[in-house]
Amino acid sequence: DAGVTQSPTHLIKTRGQQVTLRCSPKSGHDTVSWYQQALGQGPQFIFQYYEEEERQRGNFPDRFSGHQFPNYSSELNVNALLLGDSALYLCASSLILSGEQYFGPGTRLTVT
Amino acid sequence: SQQGEEDPQALSIQEGENATMNCSYKTSINNLQWYRQNSGRGLVHLILIRSNEREKHSGRLRVTLDTSKKSSSLLITASRAADTASYFCATPGGSNYKLTFGKGTLLTVNP
C-alpha cells in the first residue's frame, strides 16, 4: 500500500518563473492538503482540496493555486516565484471525516 | 498565527533517557496530534489524542492532554539515537480541515 508520494524531490527555479508540484495521496484517501515549511519553522497550511474543489485556504497570495484530479491526485502551482517561496512543500492526504493526515516526503524548492 | 507552541525548542539527552516535550495551544480543539520530522523531510504521524481523552500510549510514546490548561505533553521513554528528529504538535481547525503547527522541538539523542 503506497503512502503519499510527491514529485519532484528537489527543484531549483529562478525568480519570476512558475512551478508545478505534484502529489498522489495514500490509497483510499480523498482529501489533499498542501503545506509550506520554511527552514526552522513548522509547516504552514496553504489549502486543501476535496472533490476537486478548494475547501479552505490559508494566508497565501493568489500566486499559489492548486488542482485536484478525479483520481484524487493534486497539483500545487506557484506563479511569479519570489526568493521567499524557497521552502519545503509538503502534501498530506486524509479522509474527509478524519483529522489524521499522512504526509509525503516533500518537495524542496529553491528560488534563486 | 501559530496555534501550538512546543517547549523546549531544543532538547539533548543520552540514549536510554526519557524525553518530554510540551505543547501549548490557544483555542478549543477537537483533537491534538503529534508528528515527527527527520532532517527536514516528510512528517510522520505519531499519535492523535481526542479532547475527551487525558492520556494515550503508543509503544514508547505517552501523550497527555489537559484541556483546562490547553496543553499537551509527549513523553518518549528509553530514547534511542534513531529518535533524533524534530517533533511538532498540531491542532486542527474547527472543521478538521487544516492543521496548525508549532515551531517544533528539536530532539537530539546522543549514543
Per run of 10 residues, the mean pLDDT along chain A (length 112 residues) is: 90 98 95 94 94 92 97 97 97 83 95 98
CB A100 to CB B33 under 8 A?
yes
Tell if the CB–CB gap between A45 and B100 is shorter than 8 Å. yes
- For the stretch B23-36, pLDDT in tens is 999 888 889 999 99
Alpha carbon of B41: minimum distance to chain A alpha carbons (Å): 5
Mean pLDDT of B34-62: 93
Taking the Cβ of residue A60 and every Cβ of chain B, the question of whether any pair is shorter than 8 Å is answered with no
Q: Work out the pLDDT band at B2, boundaries 50, 70, 90.
A: very low
Q: Assess whether pLDDT exceeds 80 at residue B40.
A: no
| pLDDT of B17 strictly over 50 | yes
Categorize the per-residue pLDDT at B96 as very low, low, confident or very high, splitting at 50, 70 and 90: low
Determine contact, residues B83/B11, Cβ cutoff 8 Å: no
Query: What is the interface size between A and B, counted as CB pairs within 8 Å?
Result: 66
Q: Is the pLDDT of residue B1 over 60?
A: no
CA dist B81 and B108 (Å) reads 8
A66 touches chain B (CB under 8 A): no
Confidence class of residue B93 from pLDDT cuts 50, 70 and 90?
A: confident
User: What is the model's pLDDT at position A24?
Assistant: 97
Dist CA A35 CA B21 (whole Å): 23
Select from B42, B48, B99 the Cβ nearest to the Cβ of A45. B99
Nearest partner of A94 among B97, B28, B20, B3, judged by Cα: B97
Per-residue cell: B1:
498565527
